[in-house]
Amino acid sequence: MSQDLRLLVQGLHTRLQHDGRETALVRGVDLRLHAGETLALVGESGSGKSLTALTLMRLLARDARWSWDGQVELVDADGQHHDLLRLPEAQIRRLRGHQMAMIFQEPMSCLNPVLTVGQQIAESVRLHLGLSPAAARQRALQALEEVEIAAARQRLDEYPHQLSGGMRQRVMIAMAMVCAPRVLIADEPTTALDVTIAAQILALMRRLQEANGMAVLFITHHLGVVAHYADRVSVMYAGRVVESADVPRLFAQPSHPYTRGLLECLPGRARQRALATGQAPVLLDIPGQAPSMQDLPEGCAFAPRCPQAHARCGAGEVPWQGAPEHRYRCWLNATEGLA
């Protein structure tokens, strides 16, 4: 699996300066993305998934409020490593939209209402490949055809408000794909769409990925989508990855109590439980709330909500447990101790 590394993230921290105090919102995220692979980043709202993506793209506001450190490397086609966190803005701009692209959550508001679809797709090509307006338009048309929009030639001159939600998300994908990026970050691309459209969009992204072998970082809170779409999963809680495995393994034997809790929350599981016990199905949730990032508990951040917490959880940072292909930050099942 280690061939053709595309994106390497190690010890990524993102901090926000607010009211005179600094709060770490992303606290040491490690990710590896390879060609042709989809890594899902899962977690509830506020767990730092989107912030991780924005930090990777260097899209956080350039002012004193945000700071970040860690190691983020993008590997380009020549095998050259780009240090994304330390490159000057001008060089980041050359990579953004070209080597790495991003799809956002709301297809409604991510398109400029006063520019035509064609202008918006062509912009990226003109910026990065320096094509003439006519050639860029041609490329935009191609991109629209690749995302399987009906009557692509006609859509080229339409405004975003004339398109349906699904079509807008296709346009967003076309915008992101038009320069054939090596890494695509998709921040909840299907959350705002209804189920059938979401399935179409996922299938489309899968086809495009197979065609050009890009690596996809797929941010979602929907485990059902993860099961069908991703190759590997990293589960985030309170700004930190708590479990990381490939999809079959994670669903077969979730090892962090938070992951287990997430899986138990799925409606499908409620039905299974009902069938097993012969009682009416009950939807479960994880008791308690995500902790405030400003005063996180000592040790494991999930401990206060964890049904299996014990004294050790509160004592210092939990190291990675398990094998490299399935790691988790939890003392349960630790090689030494309980197991």
Partner 1 sequence: MAEPQRWWRHLLARRMVLVAAILLGLLLLLTLVGPWFLPDPMALKVSQRLKPPSWAYLAGTDELGHDMASRLVLGARYSLAIGASTAVLAVLAGTVLGLLAGFFRRLDGPLMRLVDAMMAFPDILLGIALVAILGASPVNVVLALSLVYTPRVARVVRACALVIRSLPYVEAARAVGVRSPRLLRVHVLPNLMSPILVQLSFVFAYALLAEAGLSFLGVGVGADVPTWGTMVAASTPYAERAVWMLFFPGLAIVLSAWSLQVLGDGVRDLLDPRLRGAP
Stretch binding partner 1 (CB under 8 A), from 109-117, 216-224, 283-291, 325-333: 109-117
Stretch binding partner 1 (CB under 8 A), from 40-48, 95-103, 268-276, 307-315: 95-103
Nearer to partner 1, 32 or 128 (CB): 128
Nearer to partner 1, 60 or 266 (CB): 60
- Out of 109, 253, 289, 308, which residue is the one contacting partner 1 (CB under 8 A)? 109
For the window 159-198, what string marks contact with partner 1 as x by the rule CB under 8 A? x-xx---------x--x-----------------------
Q: Identify residues 286-315 at the interface with partner 1 (CB under 8 A).
A: none
Nearer to partner 1, 175 or 293 (CB): 175
Nearer to partner 1, 94 or 271 (CB): 94
- Out of 33, 95, 143, 300, which residue is the one contacting partner 1 (CB under 8 A)? 95
Q: Identify residues 232-271 at the interface with partner 1 (CB under 8 A).
A: none
Residue 127 interacts with partner 1 (CB under 8 A): yes or no: yes
Nearer to partner 1, 31 or 110 (CB): 110
- In whole angstroms, the minimum distance from the beta carbon of 190 to partner 1 comes to 16
- In whole angstroms, the minimum distance from the beta carbon of 328 to partner 1 comes to 32
Of 3, 1, 6, 2, the C-alpha closest to 209 is: 6
Nearer to partner 1, 96 or 326 (CB): 96
